[in-house]
Amino acid sequence: MTNQFQKWLTGGYAQAEEDPGRIALDSLRAFEESGAGRRQFMAALGALAAGYSVNAVAQTIPGPGPFTLDATNGKQYPPQHGMKVMGPVNIHEIEQVSARTLDVAHFEYVSSGSEDEYTLTDNIRAYELTKLRQHVGVDVSRIDTSIDILGQKLAYPIILDPTTKNTVVPDGDRLAAIGAHGANAFYGVTNALAFVDELKQANQCPNWWICQLGHRNRQLAQTWAKQYTDAGAAWLGVTVDHPYTPNRDRNIRNKFHNYQSGVLAPVIPSLTWEYISWLKAASPLPVVVKGILNAEDAAAAVKYGADGIVVSNHGGRAYDGAVPTLVALPECVDAVRGRIPVMLDGGIRRGSDVLKALALGAKAVMVGRPPAWGVAAFGAIGVQRVMELLAAELTVSMGIAGAPNLAAIKRSMVRLPWEEYRL
Ligand SMILES: Cc1cc2nc3c(=O)[nH]c(=O)nc-3n(C[C@H](O)[C@H](O)[C@H](O)COP(=O)(O)O)c2cc1C
């Protein structure tokens, strides 16, 4: 709780020029950013008035789980928050709030893609063109979105992608972790050592996985793997689709972080399949390969020992003109033949998008920009709301599609564009 607010409550601002209403609102905002909601704020207000000191705490409401119709008839699901956070009704509107809270350069860093942004828009358009076929006459009064995947029991099959949120807002990675914890979500991150211990002690640490773009040599890879195994990561991830910094025109125009046109800036161009064996020799954790887009690479990932793959084109931030991930998914699923779980990311903005990906064989999906917009719009609680909203939209979609659980989501529930118009 801010000293400023305490002073206001105890009358210290009675003679001051500050507007007490504004101070209260600022304090509420700080409270929400720290992961606490309006109800906690009101409780804190009462406690402070009674003379107790108060610390902002994260939401203790568990995130979405199996949904059963009850006396509230669904009205209390998903969890409710303050008016500000509940204002935007979908991910698109949370994106719009983030556009107002970030400056142009930061907003475009999150939202833009590389070059002409074909991949970015095609990822989304693939969902638009893929149609749903619902099955009726199924009892869907209880809907279970839970799944076990590579040792993780997920309440719902929507995972946070690794995106460096510290570059989006100060302390973004830690705030997003608190939000993921509040939403009972599995959290992907690129650097976590600075805050996981603190969050564990505060009981605000989500289950999390670490993912980086590889390392230059075996020793660096194994040191990294050991460090993160000891720190409590659940999976080790390697992103394989980013050997060179791509041309990101909007970032270049904004002079964001020294991006330049047409400069060959290597990341880890020497990365090969051997990298997987380096990690596996250093750690017992599952190794997940992110950035697969075709059957040959999916089969190679299995051959070289990957425990899971993510069909991904880096959300259209790497190779422009790449195949949309939803289109690449079926060939990857076929090539893997059930030996390891196939996940997918890129362009998921709705629960119905998740259902389409699961129907085409993904075991789970990941989201990159939505939680990044959430943390920019509202801090930790924004991330929590994004995940709860997507999970709730998926629940609604499953209810309408006639799927009471994830195993009931079938290939027959989607029609691909070329099937739709086949005569
Ligand atoms: C701001 C931002 C930073 C990202 N940083 C990384 C990164 O460091 N490593 C990585 O593997 N992917 C990174 N990504 C890509 C995401 O992990 C993910 O593949 C992509 O965002 C999925 O598409 P979506 O944003 O449409 O959900 C980043 C994405 C964004 C939006």
Nearest Cα residue to 81 out of 23, 27, 42: 42
Nearest Cα residue to 386 out of 403, 401, 374: 374
Nearest-angstrom CA–CA distance, 27 and 23: 6
Please name the residue whose Cα sits nearest to atom 4 of ligand 1: 163
Domain ranges of the chain: 3-49, 96-420
pLDDT at 95 over 90: yes
Q: How far is the CA of 367 from the centre of ligand 1 (A)?
A: 8
Helix (H) or strand (E) holding 206: none
Ligand 1 atom with the shortest distance to the CA of 369: 25
Nearest-angstrom CA–CA distance, 236 and 346: 20
Q: How far is the CA of 361 from the centre of ligand 1 (A)?
A: 22
Nearest-angstrom CA–CA distance, 205 and 181: 6
Q: Which residues pair with 371 in a beta bridge?
A: none
Q: Mean pLDDT across the stretch 92-108?
A: 98
Nearest-angstrom CA–CA distance, 341 and 26: 45
Nearest-angstrom CA–CA distance, 232 and 192: 10
Please name the residue whose Cα sits nearest to atom 7 of ligand 1: 163
Give Cβ neighbours of residue 191 (< 8 Å, ≥ 6 apart): 164, 166, 173
Ligand 1 atom with the shortest distance to the CA of 188: 17
Please name the residue whose Cα sits nearest to atom 16 of ligand 1: 368
Q: Mean pLDDT across the stretch 17-29?
A: 51
Nearest Cα residue to 327 out of 309, 308, 341, 347: 347
User: What is the pLDDT, as a whole number, of residue 258?
Assistant: 81
- Structure tokens of 392? 């709730």
| Best residue for ligand 1 mutational test, from 125, 158, 314 (most atoms within 8 Å of Cβ) | 314
Q: How far is the CA of 288 from the centre of ligand 1 (A)?
A: 15
Q: How far is the CA of 369 from the centre of ligand 1 (A)?
A: 7
Nearest-angstrom CA–CA distance, 358 and 414: 10
User: What is the pLDDT, as a whole number, of residue 5?
Assistant: 43
Ligand 1 atom with the shortest distance to the CA of 123: 26
Q: Which residues pair with 364 in a beta bridge?
A: 343
Q: pLDDT, tens digit, for every residue of 115-168?
A: 999 999 999 999 999 999 999 999 999 999 999 999 999 999 999 999 999 999
Q: pLDDT, tens digit, for every residue of 268-324?
A: 999 999 999 999 999 999 999 999 999 999 999 999 999 999 999 999 999 999 999
- For residue 357, CA distances in Å to 12, 55, 282 come to 56, 41, 33
| Best residue for ligand 1 mutational test, from 317, 348, 354 (most atoms within 8 Å of Cβ) | 317
Residue 76: which region, alpha, beta or left (left: phi > 0; alpha: psi -120 to 50)? alpha
Task: Report whether CATH 3.30.70.20 matches the domain 96-420.
Answer: no
Residue 266 phi/psi, 5-degree rounding, is -70, 145
Q: pLDDT, tens digit, for every residue of 347-388?
A: 999 999 999 999 999 999 999 999 999 999 999 999 999 999
User: What is the pLDDT, as a whole number, of residue 45?
Assistant: 58
User: Annotated catalytic, 314?
Assistant: yes
For residue 268, give the 3-state DSSP assignment: coil
pLDDT at 34 over 90: no
**What is the rounded radius of gyration, in angstroms, for the C-alpha atoms of the chain?**
22
Predicted TM-score (pTM) of the model is 0.87
Query: Which ranges constitute the DSSP H helices of 50-169?
Result: 83-86, 91-101, 104-111, 118-129
| 110 in contact with ligand 1, CB cutoff 6 A | yes
Q: Which residues pair with 367 in a beta bridge?
A: 160
Q: How far is the CA of 95 from the centre of ligand 1 (A)?
A: 15
